[in-house]
């Protein structure tokens, strides 16, 4: 089933839209999802650093009533697990030294995920400095990898691949001032064969195209849409 929900490979160049239940009103979801349906987005991610399980459930149920796109959980904690989703990025913060986000939340949520039959995708999550402290970096309390140290990011991703991760997620965090550089993404691409997801600070078509050209397989758009709903119109012809 995983292959049908998340068909990423080394040649994929896809878009995902991230919806944070804390930042979107339920009554606005219908128009947002209709707009997403008209783009080339392949997935909808749901999650954030602070949202609670009830908000996630309600948000996913409304989203699924207006789209056939796979809805993938991007959980900020073990509280954000919903059986309504199609799959879940089983994130491990491999770039930090906070054991709760490396394995603690995963231990708490794993039995529930198994009981619900929710598809889980082992994902090595790497936070990269995006020019400001983001909610993700504050809550998880690591030091993000410096943007000018791509070799550290590459070695971290390689360790994740060797540990058995299925995806690598490079994230500058929601509201980042600058996206992850082309050089950083390329360094990771040169070290791992796994699909690479890139998010945080993606505000323009040029940001998206640079990420793809550097080796990203999936680019996640979130804050750009929260700040400007018309941004969806700019990605219709990617």
First to last CA, the chain: 27
As a whole-number percent, the residues of the chain with pLDDT over 70 amount to: 86
Whole-number pLDDT of residue 229 = 66
Q: Is the pLDDT of residue 50 over 80?
A: no
Whole-number pLDDT of residue 23 = 82
Q: What is the CATH number of domain 13-234?
A: 3.20.20.390
Q: In the structure, what pLDDT confidence band is assigned to residue 145 with cuts at 50, 70 and 90?
A: very high
Whole-number pLDDT of residue 2 = 44
Whole-number pLDDT of residue 98 = 74
Mean pLDDT of 120-137: 83
Whole-number pLDDT of residue 97 = 78
Residue from 46, 38, 27 nearest 67 by CA: 38
Q: Are 218 and 225 in contact (CB under 8 A)?
A: no
pLDDT in tens, 202-238: 999 999 999 999 999 999 998 777 667 677 877 776 6
Distance CA(227)–CA(217), nearest Å, equals 24
Distance CA(215)–CA(197), nearest Å, equals 9
Mean pLDDT of 14-32: 90
Q: Is the pLDDT of residue 3 over 60?
A: no
Token pair belonging to 5: 């929900």
Residue bearing the bigger pLDDT, 137 or 94: 94
Count the helices and strands in the chain (H runs, E runs). Answer: 11, 8
Find the helix packing angle between 150-162 and 182-191, rounded to 10°. Answer: 30
Distance CA(205)–CA(227), nearest Å, equals 15
Whole-number pLDDT of residue 147 = 96
Q: Is the pLDDT of residue 4 over 50?
A: no
Q: Exposure of 230 by Cβ count < 10 A (0-12 exposed, 13-18 middle, 19+ buried)?
A: exposed
Q: Is the pLDDT of residue 34 over 50?
A: yes
Find the helix or strand (DSSP H, E) in which 218 lies: strand 218-221
Query: Domain locations in the chain?
Result: 13-234
Residue bearing the bigger pLDDT, 36 or 135: 36
Q: In the structure, what pLDDT confidence band is assigned to residue 1 with cuts at 50, 70 and 90?
A: very low
Find the helix packing angle between 182-191 and 205-214, rounded to 10°. Answer: 30
Mean pLDDT of the chain: 86
Distance CA(127)–CA(104), nearest Å, equals 18
What's 104's DSSP letter? I
């Amino acid at each position: 089933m995983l292959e049908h929900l998340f068909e990423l490979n080394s040649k994929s160049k896809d878009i995902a839209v991230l919806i944070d239940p804390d930042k979107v009103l339920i009554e606005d979801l219908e128009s947002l999802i209709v707009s997403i349906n008209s783009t080339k987005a392949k997935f909808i991610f749901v999650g954030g650093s602070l949202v609670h399980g009830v908000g996630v459930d309600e948000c996913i149920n409304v989203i699924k009533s207006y789209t056939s796109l796979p809805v993938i959980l991007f959980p900020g904690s073990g509280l954000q697990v919903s059986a309504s989703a199609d799959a879940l990025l089983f994130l491990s913060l491999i770039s930090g030294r906070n054991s709760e986000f490396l394995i603690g939340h995963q231990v708490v949520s794993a039995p529930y995920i198994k009981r619900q039959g929710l598809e889980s995708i082992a994902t090595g999550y790497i936070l990269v400095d995006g020019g400001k402290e983001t909610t993700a970096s504050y809550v998880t309390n690591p030091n993000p990898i410096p943007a000018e140290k791509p070799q550290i990011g590459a070695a971290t991703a390689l360790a994740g691949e060797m540990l058995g991760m299925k995806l690598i997620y490079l994230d500058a965090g929601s509201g980042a001032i600058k996206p992850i550089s082309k050089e950083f993404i390329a360094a990771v691409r040169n070290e791992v064969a796994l699909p690479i997801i890139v998010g945080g600070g993606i505000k323009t078509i040029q940001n998206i195209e640079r990420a793809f050209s550097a080796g990203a397989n999936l680019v996640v758009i979130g804050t750009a849409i929260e700040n400007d709903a018309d941004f969806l119109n700019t990605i219709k012809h990617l």
